[in-house]
Chains A and B, each alone.
Chain A
Amino acid sequence: MTFTDDVLMAYVDRELDAQTRAAIDAALAQDPGLAARLERQRKLRLAVHAAYEPVLAEPMPQRLLDAARGAAAAPARVARRWSWFEWSAMAASVVVGVLAGGVLLNESRRVPPVAETTADFVADRTGMLARGALAHALAEQLASTQAAEAPVRVGLSFVSAAGEYCRTFTLAQDSAAGRLGGLACRTGEEWRVQVVAQDDRRGAATGAYRMAGIEMPSPVLRAVEDRIQGAALDAEAERAAQRRGWVR
């Protein structure tokens, strides 16, 4: 007796009637092929379940506890956050990087090799600082007027909750390595690099994550979200901030 994949699937999902289940159990002993197919279904089910299991143990954000208790401070907050990318994408009107499974490299880890060769960053005791072409672009370049093929492209500029100007950027590299995207904030005289993430060229080639609009490695988007106060600067505000030397 042969069993379809649909039946085996129902078997591992414990959805089979007792009779069919017993028939499979009986056939398993004589049919190594059937046993292998069943094992494959079982492994897949376990792997999918296991992939999300750790979410249960993650610390619960206070805002969700508040929402469940009907004590959410601002119900509109979600809608606002979801529309933020859209607005800033228009404001910046720039495509930065290609997002895919980005590799997060922040100041607590090693500086990426590519950054060492182009000397765009230096590390000090407290983190990474922008240097060279990156520092120059952060200070001078405007998203609204920069060249499409500029080696450093500036994305969003905004004021952080700490009251500093912050700007996202992408660095062109040799094509094999993909692009680096990052976020830097102006602290005193320095542009302090908050996060750098590299996109995954292979993932990008499949088009799996590529969507139209502004594209940045998601660790960078998250770093922006964590810091931004209000909306991103529009072209006029960006120009004004640049004229003031990014001092508020």
Chain B
Amino acid sequence: MTQAEQQFRAELVSLLPRLRRFGRAITGHRQDADDLVQMALERALTRREQWGAGTRLASWLFRIMQNLWIDELRARSRRDRVFAPEEAGEHVGDASAERQIDSLAVRKAMERLNDDQRIAVGLVLVEGLPYKEAAAVLDIPIGTLTSRLARAREQLQLLLDDFGRAKGMETP
């Protein structure tokens, strides 16, 4: 293995936690997210020469992941098959109970967004990409990205307000 290859793999390893987080945000499901990460890694390793020097490695991986996920969703709807959302009983990490409930509400609300909106939120709000980079990942104009983000946020806010009213608790 060349030194460049070793370096590339080491960078992939260091990106793993973020790739899983992005996967969780766009799939809403742990197994799907990890499967998605695994497939993206395999693709990245076999197509390393396609990684443009001007692109951050994380952004390139996000791009691969979102392409794979859109393909998978299309295949799923064609096959008319099971879609398993993250179970409500599952809590990640050890945040306080209140935080967990808020987080659960957010994740449930995210599942209600359409795929384009959820991916845009995943890139910008979850992963913190600048608009320009997120738009490049999705290969769309910045204006399209920001309008997806705006609609997604309105939707999220409405859903969280609803959840809040239903549970009688304060929401973001």
Contact = CB atoms under 8 A, between A and B. Distances in A.
A81 B17 CA distance: 22
A50 B99 contact: yes
A33 interface: no
Interface string A214-248: 11011101100100000000000000000000000
Interface residues of B, number: 66
A104 B90 contact: yes
Contacts of B92: 54-55, 58
Q: Which of B18, B84, B85, B131 gathers the greatest number of chain A CB atoms within 10 Å? A: B84
Contacts of A6: 146-147, 150
Given A10-B146, A209-B85, A86 B79 contact: yes
A67 B80 CA distance: 29
Nearest to A50: B103
A104 B89 contact: yes
Interface stretch (A23-31, A37-45, A131-139, A169-177): A37-45
Interface string B1-33: 000000001001101111011001100010100
Contacts of A214: 81-82
Interface of B is mostly: helix
Given A82-B35, A89-B81, A219-B89, A49 B41 contact: no
Interface stretch (A68-76, A142-150, A186-194): A68-76
A208 B153 contact: no
Given A47-B102, A65-B16, A218-B85, A52 B172 contact: no
Contacts of A102: 87-89
A72 B83 contact: no
B93 interface: yes
Contacts of B104: 51
Contacts of B106: 47-48, 50-51
Interface string A1-24: 000011001100101000000000
B82 A52 contact: no
B95 interface: yes
A215 B82 contact: yes
A82 to B, nearest CB: 6
Nearest to B111: A208
A68 B12 contact: yes
A52 B150 contact: no
**Closest 5 interchain pairs by CB?**
A54-B93, A101-B88, A104-B89, A51-B106, A47-B172
25 contacts: A5-B153, A6-B150, A9-B150, A10-B131, A44-B156, A48-B106, A50-B95, A54-B93, A55-B21, A55-B92, A56-B18, A64-B37, A68-B9, A68-B12, A70-B9, A82-B35, A85-B84, A101-B87, A102-B88, A208-B108, A208-B111, A209-B83, A209-B85, A209-B111, A218-B84
Interface of A: 5-6, 9-10, 13, 15, 40-41, 43-58, 60-61, 63-65, 67-70, 72, 75, 77-78, 81-82, 85-86, 89, 99-104, 197, 200, 203, 208-209, 211-215, 217-219, 221-222, 225
